[in-house]
A and B are shown apart, each in its own frame.
Chain A
Amino acid sequence: MNHLLRELGNWIDVRVGYSETLLPMLRHPIPRAADGPMGWWYVFGSASLTFLLIQILTGIGLSLVYVPAANEAYESLVYLDYEHPFGWFLRALHYYAGSGMVVMLLAHMTQVFLHGAYKYPRELTWMVGVVLLLCTLGMFFSGQILRWDPDAYWGLAVAGSMAGRVPVIGPWVVHALLGSEIIGAAALSRFFALHVFVIPGALLTFLVLHLWLVLRCGISAPPAADRPVDPATYEAEYHEELRQGVPFLGDAMLRDLFFSAAAVIVVVAIAAVVGPKGPTGPPDPTLGGANPRPEWPFLWLFALLALSPPAAETFIMLVFPVVVIGILFLVPVVSNRGHRAPSRRPVAVLAVIVIYTTLGALTYLGVTAPWSPEMRAWTSAAIPTDVVERSSPLELQGSLVFQYKNCRNCHALEGVGGRRGPDLTTVGTRLTRDQLIDQVSNGTPGGGNMPAYGKQMSPAEMTVLADFLVSLRPSGQPPAKVWSSSPTTRP
Chain B
Amino acid sequence: MASRHTLNGFVLALGALLAVGCDWPGKPDPGTRQRAAEELTSFVPLYRQHCVGCHGADGQQGPAPPLNDPLFLAIVPDAELERVIRRGRRGTPMPAFGIEAGGELSDAQVTALAQGLKSHWKSDEKLDEPLPSYLPADGDDSTRQPGDRERGATLFAVACAGCHGENGRGGEGSDANNAIHEPAFLALISNQALRRIIITGRSDLGMPSFAGKDGRPDDFSTLTSPQIDDLVALLAHWRDEQGQLANPHTSNVP
Q: Is the CB of A377 within 8 A of B53?
A: yes
Q: Is the CB of A388 within 8 A of B205?
A: yes
Contact with B along A394-410 (1 / 0, CB 8 A): 11110111011000100
- CB-defined contacts of A88 to chain B, threshold 8 Å: 26-28
Contact with B along A404-436 (1 / 0, CB 8 A): 100010000000000000000000000000000
B3 at interface, CB cutoff 8 A: no
Q: Is the CB of A400 within 8 A of B24?
A: no
Cα–Cα, bound, A459→B178 (Å): 20
Cα–Cα, bound, A61→B205 (Å): 59
- CB-defined contacts of A383 to chain B, threshold 8 Å: 53-54, 56, 62-63
User: Which residues between 275 and 292 of chain A lie within 8 Å of chain B, taking CB atoms?
Assistant: 275-276, 279-282, 284, 287, 289
User: Which residues between 50 and 95 of chain A lie within 8 Å of chain B, taking CB atoms?
Assistant: 78, 81-82, 86, 88-89, 92
Shortest CB–CB separation between residue A219 and chain B, in angstroms?
34
* With known contacts A82-B30, A380-B48, A401-B93, A460–B63 Cβ distance under 8 A: no
Q: Is the CB of A460 within 8 A of B26?
A: no
Select which of A279, A395, A464 is within 8 A of B34 by beta carbon. Answer: A279
Task: Name the residue of chain A whose CB is nearest to the CB of B61.
Answer: A385
A273 at interface, CB cutoff 8 A: yes
Task: Name the residue of chain B whose CB is nearest to the CB of A402.
Answer: B63
Q: Is the CB of B27 within 8 A of A458?
A: no
B49 at interface, CB cutoff 8 A: yes
Shortest CB–CB separation between residue A151 and chain B, in angstroms?
12
Shortest CB–CB separation between residue A259 and chain B, in angstroms?
21
B12 at interface, CB cutoff 8 A: no
Shortest CB–CB separation between residue A285 and chain B, in angstroms?
14
Q: Is the CB of B50 within 8 A of A379?
A: yes
Number of contacting residues on B, CB 8 A? 46
A382 at interface, CB cutoff 8 A: yes
Contact with B along A457-482 (1 / 0, CB 8 A): 11111011001000000000000000
Cα–Cα, bound, A376→B28 (Å): 25
* With known contacts A81-B28, A394-B184, A456–B253 Cβ distance under 8 A: yes
Give the A-binding residues of B (Cβ under 8 A): 21, 24-28, 30, 33-34, 36-37, 48-54, 56-57, 61-64, 93, 95, 177-180, 182-185, 187-189, 205, 244-248, 251-253
List 16 A-B pairs, Cβ < 8 Å.
A88-B27, A272-B24, A376-B49, A379-B49, A380-B48, A382-B56, A383-B56, A392-B177, A397-B63, A400-B64, A401-B188, A403-B54, A403-B63, A455-B253, A459-B244, A467-B184
A279-B34, A282-B34 are known; give 19 further A-B pairs, CB within 8 A. Answer: A82-B30, A272-B26, A276-B28, A378-B53, A381-B53, A388-B56, A388-B61, A391-B63, A393-B179, A393-B185, A395-B177, A397-B93, A397-B189, A400-B188, A459-B184, A459-B245, A463-B183, A463-B184, A464-B184
Q: Give the 4 A-B residue pairs with the shortest CB-CB distance, closest first.
A: A275-B26, A460-B187, A463-B184, A392-B177
